[in-house]
Copies of this chain bind each other. A is one copy, B any other.
Amino acid sequence: MTGVLDAPAASGAGLQMQELIGELYPICRSITGQGVRDSLRLLQKHIPLEIRSVPSGTQVLDWVVPREWNIRGAYVKDPAGRRIVDFADSNLHVVSYSAPVRRRMPLAELREHLFSLPEHPDWIPYRTSYYREDWGFSVTHRLLEGMEDGEYEVCIDSTLEPGQLNFGELRLQGRTDEEVLLSCHCCHPSLCNDNLSGMALCTFLAKELLGTETRYSYRFLFLPGTIGSITWLALNEARARNIKHGLVAACVGDAGGFRYKRSRQGNAEIDRAAAHVLKHRDTGHEIVDFSPYGYDERQYCSPGFNLAVGSLTRSGHGQYPEYHTSADNLGLVRPGALEESLSVYREILGVIEGNCRYRNTQPKGEPQLGRRGLYGSVGGWAALGLNEAAMLWVLNLSDGEWSLLDIAERAGLRFESVRAAAEALEQHSLLERI
């Protein structure tokens, strides 16, 4: 994997991700339906993604795959016959998964189906009603407040019929069958940071790994939230045991600092690798404990699986004002932020790929580094530079108990320095890999 994971971010990757987000933005996605398929097909222009289909009605763990939802259009006409709400203007206007409706009704009745954000009167909220059949419109609070009494006409031209649940899957075989999972949700309509940014990041990370030799196999999943990961887990119980490390990618395009949410295990290697990488970067960041809210880590970390899957976001789940509103738009995600996020993911995977244990072949006393050209002889110990410190730490702690990441943490050194030192020492037969 060296050479790809260690390389600086491909020039312009941020702009390319931003462009992909722009193409995905207009599509109306939900947990099922044509929008998901169209989105996954767009990704196939970049990576050889397989699009899976699971029929409605399939039992998946405690759940059942729901009907497929599709929508052609929707509107609300005021008493004067003017279209005051139109799905064509924003797919957020329709509560996702709304049942079809075509009726006239007084304002009082309609208002029970209208949702707005009083604190942000110009934004449209994102609402869903997946598991209780209903319908509704999300509107700006400004519009809502101006609506006058009278008879309104509402139309949602949608279908809820037996069909398919779709998700995208890409597996890259590494030297071992042990897997690293990268998972993102692909079910949100026109919302950019949450989660077109995660979809773009996973796509470009997969693109970089394609054809690269890696230690681990990599599995990328683009899934409708909750039901998608539950479906994948139901169909892949045995395969799930191969997942040794995982990250759920979401909200990686905004300008906020990084936020890593630990796996349920709490001190898994992925948790330590992510914390290590973030600590050694200059950017502000936050490490938070696992909690059973958030994204699909909820399912991967359910007690029957308990996988070592964390989640790395910028301003994450519910943590920024534009979250789940029309203001989570193309202006919120920034190429530089996307590119930096990609770089952090890449560096974390680099730690996971490179982390291993060595045994010092000369464990009694220090080996004579100078004789092997690994130590400047004039100047003595005081002239000790960073790499020599890394070499001394690796030699001292390579008793079979300490991994390179353990050593980096105890020494307060960056993983990459420690890994490079270990490689130099291995070349001189002072270390052997366990």
Contact = CB atoms under 8 A, between A and B. Distances in A.
Given A393-B292, A396-B303, A62 B370 contact: no
Interface residues of A, number: 62
A378 B136 contact: yes
Contact of A366 (B298, B317, B380, B398): B298
A131 B371 contact: yes
Name the prevailing secondary structure of the A interface residues: loop
Interface string A378-398: 111110100001001101111
B62 A131 contact: no
Nearest to A95: B378
A370 B293 contact: no
A293 B365 contact: no
A362 B302 CA distance: 9
A365 B61 contact: yes
B264 A324 contact: no
Contacts of A340: none
B364 A129 contact: no
Given A127-B378, A370-B131, A292 B395 contact: yes
A366 B302 contact: yes
Given A293-B389, A396-B264, A365 B229 contact: yes
Nearest to A231: B365
Contact of A399 (B303, B324, B366): B303
A368 B131 CA distance: 9
B299 A365 contact: yes
A392 B230 contact: no
Given A363-B304, A365-B230, A365-B234, A132 B396 contact: no
A318 interface: yes
Given A129-B378, A130-B377, A324-B382, A366 B226 contact: yes
Given A61-B364, A292-B393, A305-B365, 10 more contacts: A128-B378, A128-B380, A129-B377, A130-B377, A131-B368, A136-B378, A292-B396, A299-B366, A303-B396, A324-B380
13 contacts: A61-B362, A63-B368, A95-B378, A127-B379, A128-B378, A132-B378, A230-B366, A293-B384, A298-B396, A302-B396, A303-B363, A304-B364, A317-B381
